Amino acid sequence: MKKNRISKNWVNKQRKDIYVRKSKVDGYRARSAYKLIEIDEKFKIFKSGICVIDIGSAPGSWSQYASKVVKQGKIISIDLKKMEKIKNTFQIIGDFTEKDIKNKIKSYLNEEANIIMSDMAVNTTGIKDIDSIQTGELCKEAMIFSKEVISKKGFFISKIFMGSTFNEIVALGKKIFKEVKVFKPKSSRKDSKESFIICKNLR
């Protein structure tokens, strides 16, 4: 009974959500596209002809946006799930945290990446501290990997949750990059503890 009530609430929330409705009109696979659009508008990240790595890409809305704005560039999308094809993208199916998947990404690159972005999150347990820690670990792993493949003036963008690992992630960002900002887009739900860390210029 409780489960039915939760799923009914979720359906009602989706119906009322302006960004869910907008994503259907604009042809994006998820409302999360608007978070990336806001990040790009604020920090001026994307341009034509660059190389982008999208970690935790399914269902593909971030790769869709990148495909629109990165004309004649390269976009590598990585996720555990297979996605419906997106123009101008190369898809790798597998667990990003595994060494062979990281090697696969590197082997496909014949240049340094200009943007590494991650919307990775664990399947939520409902226990906010645990969710925050586990998602934080994914962010740190993506950030450490970016050191190996990102250009000197590259951007790293990742979802993070406010919680016990927040300061640790910001500190790691400052150790790897010269500029670090934390930003919560308007399209991020008010009741969500998510924010995004935007790092620029490798040390």
Per-residue pLDDT, 32: 94
Contact between 159 and 120 (Cβ < 8 Å): yes
Per-residue pLDDT, 16: 61
Q: Using a pLDDT cut of 70, give the percent of the chain over it.
A: 88
Q: Which residues of 141-168 are buried (b: 16+ CB within 10 A; e: fewer)?
A: bbbebbeebbeeebbbbbbbbebebbee
User: What's CA 66's distance to the chain center, in Å?
Assistant: 12
Q: Is 159 a catalytic residue?
A: yes
User: Helix or strand or coil: residue 55?
Assistant: strand
Per-residue pLDDT, 10: 42
| pLDDT above 90 for 57 | yes
Domain extent listing, the chain: 30-202
Confidence of residue 28 (pLDDT cuts 50, 70, 90): very high
| Mean of per-residue pLDDT scores for the chain | 89
Mean pLDDT of 159-178: 93
Query: What CATH code would you report for 30-202?
Result: 3.40.50.150
Any idea which residue has 């390269």 for tokens? 74
Confidence of residue 98 (pLDDT cuts 50, 70, 90): very high
> From the candidates 159, 174, 178, 186, which is the catalytic residue?
159
Mean pLDDT of 52-68: 97
Higher pLDDT, residue 155 or 165: 155
**Rounded distance between C-alpha atoms, residue 195 and residue 182, angstroms:** 7
Confidence of residue 92 (pLDDT cuts 50, 70, 90): very high
